[in-house]
Structure 1
Amino acid sequence: MILPTIDVPSLPTKRLPEAERQDVLFLSRKFNDMVKYTKNFYADVGLFEECLFAARKATRENRDLLSRYPFVAARDGAMTIYHFAKALDNANGAAFRVPTIARLVDKNLLKDARKLLEDTFPLHVALRHAVAHAAELASNPEKEKDRALSGPYEGLGIKIEHEQATATIEEGLSNRTFFTTHQGQILSYDITKSSADALVEATRTFMSAFSRVSAHLRE
């Protein structure tokens, strides 16, 4: 995999009122954060693929170790998606605190970027919580019960036939889908190049919303 190129809008502050400049500088930093997390997720996907390859070559002596490697990349991916979403939200909030930007920014493109994120990773907030707090969510029998998935259910290599039966899965992989159980449901995301490409598209769409802003500030 090759890291994507993402153009970041230039937002010079010299033409802005003093009261708007700090938020614009903050916005520029959030642009850079979005690019950073997008590339980090690309790295997560690349690492995941390398780990899968290594796991397939495992011997009896190192199989237990190498089989854990893909989960490291998948867990980090779940955290990275959440951090990307927060950076996007922070950038969006900053844009609308600046009257000059709020007047010129393409609001439809901002919505399109958010929709791309939500369509690709609809469960990213809950998934991040489940991954980040895995031990806390299983700290006593009641919490374990709350986390469990109830039957009947079939999918992702899981089959629960009876309503009374349950399954608690801290982390699992089905091909390139990472999943966990949380509050009685399956949370999952695909750690694939197509998912990484969708994140790139969301970032580029978000950045393109500021083309008129950038042109205005550079006049």
Structure 2
Amino acid sequence: MFADLALPPEEQERARFVQQNLDEMKTQHKRFNESLALFDYCETQRRAVGEAAPRDRFGRRMYPKLFHSMFAWQSFAGREGAMAIWDFAAAMHLVQSNLNHCPTIKALVHRRDLGAAIASFHAAFPDAKDIRHAVSHPVDIVGTPANQKKNAFTGSYEEAGVRITDSSNTSYAGINGRRFAVTIYGKIIGYELASASAQKLAEIANAIRAACLDAQKYTMERFHELLLAGKIKGTPYYTGNDE
């Protein structure tokens, strides 16, 4: 945590927002894990319901409504996971931007490690921003002829079980296997709703926290020095969440 009272008055508020966004990254990582758990639960239930579904006289499965509801919830989990990734990124960049207003702690942050962690996020989730936009505005991006032309996909595509051949103005948003994909800006883009993605978010959050540890330690030590010297009273306004 940052002990904001150990800092010059003009830096204290921004220091609290640095800590707030470090904690927000953790919150969004948890949100992603919850989306993943929902997907996995629905997958287990959907398979069980599907295997128990009776067959018609032609041997085709007659899937009940619950089977289709489970798949719809998996798509919801995919959309929620996409939003969690984007909000994680937003908090990550806000850590960096708020640090720019705190020269005391910025000087102690391992900025090379911070930059490497941010670069690692963008390498792992290069389309996070565009996926989020497609998820947030599904009607707008195809709601007019001009928007349809701008955002739909034309051509052939095959990845993670999604296969499109010689299509024209195709719009897609859904999950296949663990790949959540959308069409936007004439492309099909997506991410993996999988434990590997959750682990990557955890690694990035931990790396950014580690880059800030020396700065946090300095503020705590300085706070206790000032407190013992009688120069400040009370406790830091914002303690953060270091669990």
Whether contact under 8 Å (2:161, 2:177) holds in the other structure is no
Whether contact under 8 Å (1:149, 1:168) holds in the other structure is yes
Aligned residues: 208
Whether contact under 8 Å (2:109, 2:215) holds in the other structure is yes
Whether contact under 8 Å (1:31, 1:207) holds in the other structure is yes
Where 1:134 maps in the other structure, the secondary structure is coil
Question: In structure 2, what is the Cα distance between the partners aligned to 1:194 and 1:167?
Answer: 32
Distance verdict in 2 for CA 1:39–1:160, change over 3 Å: closer
Where 1:86 maps in the other structure, the secondary structure is helix
Whether contact under 8 Å (1:116, 1:199) holds in the other structure is no
Q: Give the aligned partner of residue 157 of structure 1.
A: 161
Alpha-carbon deviation of 1:152? 3.3
Alpha-carbon deviation of 1:215? 1.8
Q: Give the aligned partner of residue 86 of structure 2.
A: 82
Question: In structure 1, what is the Cα distance between the partners aligned to 2:196 and 2:162?
Answer: 24
Alpha-carbon deviation of 1:64? 2.3
Q: Please identify, of 201-210 and 24-33, the stretch whose mean Cα deviation from structure 2 is larger.
A: 24-33
Could you state the TM-score of these two structures normalised by the residue count of structure 2? 0.81
Q: What RMSD in Å do the two structures reach over aligned CA positions? A: 1.5
Whether contact under 8 Å (2:142, 2:152) holds in the other structure is no
Any residues of structure 2 matched to 1:124-163 within 5 Å, and which?
A: 124-162=128-166
Q: Give the aligned partner of residue 218 of structure 2.
A: 216
Q: Give the aligned partner of residue 6 of structure 1.
A: none
Distance verdict in 2 for CA 1:159–1:38, change over 3 Å: closer
Deviations 1:96-117 (A, max 9, x none): 2101011110001111211221
Question: In structure 1, what is the Cα distance between the partners aligned to 2:5 and 2:194?
Answer: 42
* Structure with larger Rg: 2
Deviations 1:58-78 (A, max 9, x none): 342222222211001100000
1:182 alignment partner AA: I
Instruction: Note if 1:108 corresponds to 2:112.
Output: yes
Alpha-carbon deviation of 1:185? 0.5
2:18 alignment partner AA: L
Question: In structure 2, what is the Cα distance between the partners aligned to 1:94 and 1:128?
Answer: 23
Q: Give the aligned partner of residue 54 of structure 1.
A: 45
Where 1:44 maps in the other structure, the secondary structure is helix
Whether contact under 8 Å (1:127, 1:187) holds in the other structure is yes
Q: Give the aligned partner of residue 11 of structure 1.
A: 2
Percent identity, please.
Answer: 27
Where 1:166 maps in the other structure, the secondary structure is strand
Q: Give the aligned partner of residue 123 of structure 1.
A: 127
Alpha-carbon deviation of 1:119? 1.7
> Which structure 2 segments of 5+ residues have no match?
54-62, 222-243
Any residues of structure 2 matched to 1:194-209 within 5 Å, and which?
A: 194-209=196-211
Alpha-carbon deviation of 1:153? 2.9
Alpha-carbon deviation of 1:160? 4.1
2:46 alignment partner AA: A
Whether contact under 8 Å (1:150, 1:160) holds in the other structure is no
Could you state the TM-score of these two structures normalised by the residue count of structure 1? 0.89
Whether contact under 8 Å (1:134, 1:170) holds in the other structure is no
